[in-house]
A = this chain, B = another copy of it.
Amino acid sequence: MEPQNKAMELYTYFRSSAAYRVRIALNLKGLRADYRYVHLVKDGGQQHTLEYKAINPQGLVPALVDQGHVLTQSLAIIEYLEETHPQPPLLPKDASGRARVRALAQLIACDIHPVNNQRILKYLEKEFGADEAARNRWYRHWIIEGFNALEKLLSGNPATGKFCHGEQPTLADICLVPQVFNARRFEIDLAPFPAIRRIHDHCLTLKAFTDATPEKQADAG
């Protein structure tokens, strides 16, 4: 048995959006985790090693180890943190507000991010001979399509505040900020998305968000 007070361990990679989400959530809740770095490019991708796949058979980051339990999938990990450490809350109290926040998060975490995952881009290159320009078009296409819908959902709803939902950061903001990071990395023009930009910029006034950015990680470079 693991001792109850052992620090959590987060398997992370600086540039992984999904790991970035969990880093923000840990910071917002003031929780400490020891970071274990899994380099997704070096050595042909350390996530493919037998050693890492014994932790997460899916070979994806992040994974969080807490009290001997290995947790995978960023949104499931964040819901777990919410249930085990409820303060400050990352979901609103009312069921329809919670559904809205989860839907905004899933629009990003299900419908944009996995389609642009490294494993997908590699397949496009290998199977369809997609060159860098074609892969970049792909990457931008799914972000822009997703952001068009996200912008409407944010700008057209009075529940949107300084953050995606009201005046406190939620799971939706935790997903939005890493996705905007990716959008900028691929030089997407964010002018058509003023609500997304405004919320992103507001999030980055908080240390919990800035401490989690890729460039601040010990494995960055």
Tell yes or no: A186 within 8 A of B by CB.
no
- Contact A124/B115 with A84-B95, A96-B69, A96-B71 known, Cβ cut-off 8 Å: no
| A66 / chain B contacts, CB cutoff of 8 Å | 96
In the complex this chain forms, how many copies of it are found? 2
| A102 / chain B contacts, CB cutoff of 8 Å | 73, 75-76, 79-80
- 9 tightest CB-CB pairs across the interface, nearest first? A76-B102, A80-B99, A73-B103, A57-B152, A58-B149, A73-B106, A76-B103, A128-B128, A69-B96
Binding site for B on A (CB under 8 A): 57-60, 66-67, 69, 71-73, 75-77, 79-80, 83-84, 95-96, 98-100, 102-103, 105-107, 109-111, 113-115, 117, 119-120, 123-124, 127-128, 130, 134, 137-138, 141, 145-146, 148-149, 152-153, 156
